[in-house]
Structure 1
Amino acid sequence: MSDVIPDSLRAFCSSRVQEMPDNQIVAVADLARHDASVVRLWIGEGDLPTPDYVKQAAMDALVQDDTRYSYSQGMPELRQALADYHQRHWRVDVGPDRFCISIGGMNAVVMAMQAILDEGSEVIMPTPAWPNARQVIEIVGGVNVSVPFDFHDDGRIELDLDRLFTAVTDRTRAIFINSPSNPTGWRMPLVDMERLRDFCRERDLWIVADEVYNHFVYDGNGPAPSFLQICGPGDKLLVTNTFSKNWCMTGWRAGWVVFPKGMDQLFARLCQYNTTGVAPFIQRACIEALQRGDDFIAHQVARCQASRDVLVEGLAALDNVTVFSPQGTFYLFFKVHGLEGSSLDMAKRILREAKVGVAPGSAFGPEGDAYLRICFAIAPELASQALERLVPFLRALESRKSAAVAD
């Protein structure tokens, strides 16, 4: 926001950066980061530690002085491990030359947008959406075009592809799809993925697919399909991903981009000028995660499903709450009817009065302001504890509303 820049410097700072909104999730979390009494469901990370074998690989690399500059695009061994991982889980043959290692999923999205956008290029994005992706488009000079999801009273979330296609103009460069979706938990059906692919081929558009949560699909229906399964090596497709979620490596800051064949030198250049690459000892840990971490992913998904079921059942029983049971991710998006004030105000109040940290729906765009998001990548016992605090608060909210109507 422009008011955080001193007057003496404002005219000399980037207008794009000055106009960026503050991150509302961080604004809530900063109020109680060190309060041990709070059940923290605001930020998207699991409560399990990084697996020991991943940490050991990094420590071994440090002891061996693997601390110097490495390949800008990423170690060949890591890119081969990623190729093997995609073959194992999605049965796709993606050569190691089509991967670029990034500083987390955030940097992956940054490089994807830098690679394809010019000044004024439009990107179509279903919303509510991850705020970081929305802001990256603006930072690199693009224009974000929002197409809202349809939220139904029975708890379904749908994306109207016809409305999405209608939003395309001659300035549109790409369509951004996050499936499974943060914050909604929506998952794009395979038939819609194929329809979108065909439309983008016909209109010569890019698909930027954020597939971070592909493993977090429940009731035995995972992993979610990948656009890599239906697109060829020459299609205009960029897939972004991260090590953060699958292996509880949020603080390690490592991710990857999959790009069309022949773009390896472009992405190596982007890495060189953005970050000069990922630390080699972290890359060694990432190799270990890919090669040994499948059982850990399965354990996390089972644990998330148990916590999801606890929270969905408890919140759905409330008359003033509509729960959108997630088809994927580890987020629960729910609507509180008769919300008092903005969702940011409500998130702060829940933190203060119920000692539960939740994310305001408005953090994901104005379309989310009647909603709240909670992360359920936690132990089922902690999910029950959060429910024990949230339910009385939300029931009291309904009681006050009923009393006001009666008066």
Structure 2
Amino acid sequence: MNHNTPPFMRQTVLDLEESRIREVANAGMGRPDVLAFWFGESDEVTPDVVRQAAIDSMQRGETFYSHNLGLPELRQAVADYMSALHGPVAMDRIAITSGGVNALMLAAQALIDAGDEVVAVTPVWPNLTAQALVMGADLKCVALRPVNGQWQLDMAALKAAITPATRMLIVNSPNNPTGWTLSRAEQAEILAHCRATGTWVLADEVYERLYYDSDTTNSCAPSFLDVSEPDDRLVVVHSFSKSFLMTGWRLGWLVMPAAMTPHMGKLIEFNTSCASVFTQRAGVAALRHTADITPRVVAHLKTCRDTLVPLLQALPGVQVAPAKGGMYAFFRLEGHPDSVATAKRLVAEAGLGLAPGEAFAPEAAGWLRWCFASQDLARLGEGVARLRSWVVTNSSPDV
């Protein structure tokens, strides 16, 4: 018997690929000489007012279960927050989850049967496509295409891929890793097509506040919620992780048709029971102080983007464009088509930790993702200096 292949596990699970991002990170984690930009999180800690709310909750002894769907006060706060951005969103459409990735998995469990056809727009964070595969879906990908470093959607190709046989469309905008962002008109066109085919839209919009294509500090990216009706076949996923500097808290939420919500509560019960109360109290505080937290975070990230991208553009053989949203520079490095091998070499030879493009889709081979969410702008500059030195030394293609 091969003890490395447990015969009692589902073949679908055995066939899942391990995270290529983790594969690279594992090669350099714990090395103090490595500048790490591989994970999608800021290096800034959660604001004091949010942390204190959790501390106060624990001091009050709030260490017990909450409602499956979340504390009523947090659900209402989320509904109010969403309504301020996108028009009326009722509390009965909201479920609190143990992170954005948990929200995505719950949506997949609720809507996908084995054998269902699912279409995904790629490149994309690998968890989104992996979750559909875990559920036994027949996954079809529609690839964005890079034009001068800017990734773009072929709308005709996407609509051709979505037919009455398509159970779900998975789309992440603003996109991780490319920064590609749907326009409101494109969202309306996609939603109208999915209404005609009876297809569910699962929209990962966790980066909506990290949006730089606007002059207002309280802006957000276009959302499917802006163009939809409450009973549309639409599930929108959000997280406290990015806009509120709360990645490790594992707190997110779902917006869905109200008829789904009580049944989603059952799924939450059978997955995690509920998000921890003290974490939810932190979420309430984060939403209460949105105006103090999120605009500052977004302004700093824009400065990070505008610092890093010109430095990358000045490097020989680099193709990159400023991202409209998110926290990543996604760039192509000429002559280095195997991004996993390149990323591992950068760790070993340059002390630079980046995520490989192949982690997000085959069409992103030769691309690298750099998370620019750094408090220290000089750290970004030092990272580029290390990349420049490595590129000059390794100017011929990989062999």
Give 1:11's aligned residue: 7
Q: Work out whether residues 39 and 356 of structure 1, in 8 Å CA contact, stay in contact via their aligned partners in 2.
A: yes
**Match of 1:262, SS?**
helix
TM-score by length of 1: 0.94
CA separation in 2, counterparts of 1:147 and 1:219? 25
CA separation in 2, counterparts of 1:160 and 1:258? 27
Q: Does 1:98 align with 2:93?
A: yes
Query: 1:185-224 CA distances to partner (integer Å, 9 max, x unpaired)?
Result: 1001111111001101111111111001011111535410
CA separation in 2, counterparts of 1:37 and 1:294? 37
**Match of 1:125, SS?**
strand
User: Which 5+ residue runs of structure 1 have no aligned equivalent?
Assistant: none
1:115 aligns with one of 86, 110, 119: 110
Q: Does 1:80 align with 2:86?
A: no
In the TM superposition, residue 78 of structure 1 has moved relative to its aligned partner by 0.3
Q: Could you say if the C-alpha distance between residues 233 and 170 of structure 1 is closer, same or farther in structure 2, counting changes exceeding 3 Å?
A: closer
In the TM superposition, residue 150 of structure 1 has moved relative to its aligned partner by 1.2
Give 1:5-404 correspondences, 5 Å limit.
6-7=3-4, 10-88=6-84, 90-152=85-147, 154-221=148-215, 222-339=219-336, 342-379=338-375, 380-398=377-395, 400=396
TM-score by length of 2: 0.95
Q: Work out whether residues 162 and 197 of structure 2, in 8 Å CA contact, stay in contact via their aligned partners in 1.
A: no
Residue 142 of structure 1 aligns to which amino acid in structure 2?
A: A
When the two chains are superposed, the root-mean-square deviation of aligned CA atoms in Å is 1.7
Q: Could you say if the C-alpha distance between residues 10 and 171 of structure 1 is closer, same or farther in structure 2, counting changes exceeding 3 Å?
A: farther
Residue 120 of structure 1 aligns to which amino acid in structure 2?
A: G
In the TM superposition, residue 295 of structure 1 has moved relative to its aligned partner by 2.2
Between 1:37-46 and 1:293-302, the stretch displaced more is 293-302
**Match of 1:307, SS?**
helix
Residue 19 of structure 1 aligns to which amino acid in structure 2?
A: D
In the TM superposition, residue 10 of structure 1 has moved relative to its aligned partner by 2.4
In the TM superposition, residue 319 of structure 1 has moved relative to its aligned partner by 3.1
In the TM superposition, residue 401 of structure 1 has moved relative to its aligned partner by 5.3
Query: 1:246-271 CA distances to partner (integer Å, 9 max, x unpaired)?
Result: 11111111101100122111111111
Residue 65 of structure 2 aligns to which amino acid in structure 1?
A: Y
Q: Could you say if the C-alpha distance between residues 401 and 347 of structure 1 is closer, same or farther in structure 2, counting changes exceeding 3 Å?
A: closer
CA separation in 2, counterparts of 1:94 and 1:140? 29
Residue 226 of structure 2 aligns to which amino acid in structure 1?
A: Q
User: How many correspondences in the alignment?
Assistant: 395
In the TM superposition, residue 30 of structure 1 has moved relative to its aligned partner by 1.4
Query: 1:50-79 CA distances to partner (integer Å, 9 max, x unpaired)?
Result: 011111111111111111111001111000
Q: Work out whether residues 185 and 327 of structure 1, in 8 Å CA contact, stay in contact via their aligned partners in 2.
A: yes
CA separation in 2, counterparts of 1:215 and 1:49? 18
In the TM superposition, residue 389 of structure 1 has moved relative to its aligned partner by 1.2
Runs of 4 or more above 2 Å deviation: 168-171, 219-222, 395-398
